[in-house]
């Protein structure tokens, strides 16, 4: 049973408050979409959840244990995080980069198991033809898939991904979200920051909306109404129901 509780979380960069009194709970096997305008605090919240950033006030608990008392190396056995983009492109090839995801589980040298897990993940993310290429020889979308693969190789119980589909073509967007959806069916919790509300509606069962560092609304798909989307983004939208699937269409601005 894996569970994360966020209680009364505040975060500030140099004194300016960016997350304000966040409360939430991430349950086992839940697929959550974190949405909200640019600058609303999505990436900051995900970085707090990987303990890269430390809160100003409030706490995060993993299975009842305060993050403060958990070493990041230990946390990495349970939690994986995929940033939106990596500033530093490692001078290593695809296979070795993904194998690095096994690090929290490796005590000395990688075992056959580690190599096998890495090879399987490479296949799953459609990276076989690139496995010996260096990361700087890949396109942005291919590199994004390598980082997602590295997180999967880590075999976490909770997976946080920051805009994982932003650089991907349509087929790979759907494939990555399908892979994540299948992980949730196995009991792994997944949280994605995502701008595409239609993809969020299609794949996620829980939506958390952030605005100005505060939780604006959260709940199941039913919370997505034209009024709430309008208030969140300041854009008029129409919601269309077709065969029990909902589509959000922006209205003309003038
Ligand atoms: P989102 O991911 O929703 O676009 P972010 O979490 O990146 O939002 O940013 C939230 C706010 O924090 C923004 O106002 C942004 O300018 C600010 N911010 C983000 N990173 C930093 C940083 N390293 N230093 C100072 N301010 C930052
Ligand atoms: Mg962001």
- The CATH number given to 2-78+156-253 is 3.40.50.300
What digits encode the pLDDT tens for the residues 191-245? Answer: 999 999 999 999 999 999 999 999 999 999 999 999 999 999 999 999 998 888 8
Report d(CA 75, CA 2) in Å as an integer.
Answer: 12
Q: Work out the end-to-end distance of the chain between its first and last CA atoms, rounded to an integer number of angstroms.
A: 50
pLDDT at res. 1 = 64
What are the boundaries of each domain within the chain? 2-78+156-253, 92-155
pLDDT grade for 100, boundaries at 50, 70 and 90: very high
Q: How many CB atoms lie within 10 A of CB 148?
A: 27
pLDDT grade for 254, boundaries at 50, 70 and 90: low
Mean pLDDT (whole number) for 84-107: 87
Residues contacting residue 220 through CB under 8 Å, at least 6 positions apart: 205, 206, 207
Task: Say if residue 142 is exposed, middle or buried (CB neighbours under 10 Å; 0-12, 13-18, 19+).
Answer: buried
| Whether the CB of 43 sits within 6 Å of ligand 1 | yes
CA of 87 to the centre of ligand 2 (A): 14
State which ligand 1 atom lies nearest to the alpha carbon of 37: 3
What digits encode the pLDDT tens for the residues 13-60? Answer: 999 999 999 999 999 999 999 999 999 999 999 999 999 999 999 999
| Ligand approaching nearest to the C-alpha of 39 | 1
| Whether the CB of 18 sits within 6 Å of ligand 1 | yes
Report d(CA 239, CA 247) in Å as an integer.
Answer: 6
pTM: 0.95
CA of 115 to the centre of ligand 2 (A): 32
Report d(CA 80, CA 78) in Å as an integer.
Answer: 7
Contact 63, 3 (CB under 8 A): yes
In this predicted structure, the answer to whether residue 79 has a pLDDT above a threshold of 60 is yes
pLDDT at res. 87 = 67
Report d(CA 233, CA 120) in Å as an integer.
Answer: 40
- For residue 177, give the 3-state DSSP assignment: helix
pLDDT at res. 253 = 65
| Whether the CB of 94 sits within 6 Å of ligand 1 | no
Contact 235, 216 (CB under 8 A): no
Q: How many CB atoms lie within 10 A of CB 204?
A: 25
Asked whether the CA dihedral 188, 161, 127, 170 is positive or negative, the reply is: positive
């Amino acid at each position: 049973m894996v569970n994360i509780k966020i209680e009364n979380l505040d975060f500030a960069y140099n004194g300016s408050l960016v997350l304000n009194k966040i409360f939430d709970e991430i349950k086992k096997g839940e697929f959550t979409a974190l949405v909200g305008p640019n600058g609303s605090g999505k990436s900051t919240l995900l970085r707090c959840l990987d303990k890269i950033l430390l809160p100003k006030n409030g706490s995060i608990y993993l299975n009842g244990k305060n993050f403060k008392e958990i070493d990041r190396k230990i946390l990495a056995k349970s939690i994986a995080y995929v940033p939106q983009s990596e500033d530093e492109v490692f001078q290593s090839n695809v296979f070795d980069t993904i194998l690095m995801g096994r690090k929290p589980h490796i005590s000395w040298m990688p075992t056959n198991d580690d190599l096998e897990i890495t090879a399987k993940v490479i296949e799953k993310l459609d990276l076989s033809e690139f496995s010996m290429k260096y990361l700087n020889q890949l396109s942005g979308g291919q590199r994004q898939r390598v980082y997602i693969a590295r997180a999967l190789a880590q075999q976490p119980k909770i997976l946080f991904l920051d805009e994982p589909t932003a650089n991907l073509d349509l087929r790979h967007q759907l494939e990555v979200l399908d892979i994540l959806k299948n992980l949730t069916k196995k009991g792994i919790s997944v949280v994605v920051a995502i701008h595409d509300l239609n993809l969020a509606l299609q794949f996620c069962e829980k939506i958390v909306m952030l605005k100005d560092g505060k939780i604006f609304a959260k709940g199941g798909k039913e919370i997505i109404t034209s009024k709430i989307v309008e208030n969140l983004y300041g854009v008029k939208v129409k919601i269309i129901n077709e065969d029990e699937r909902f589509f959000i269409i922006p209205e003309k601005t003038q």
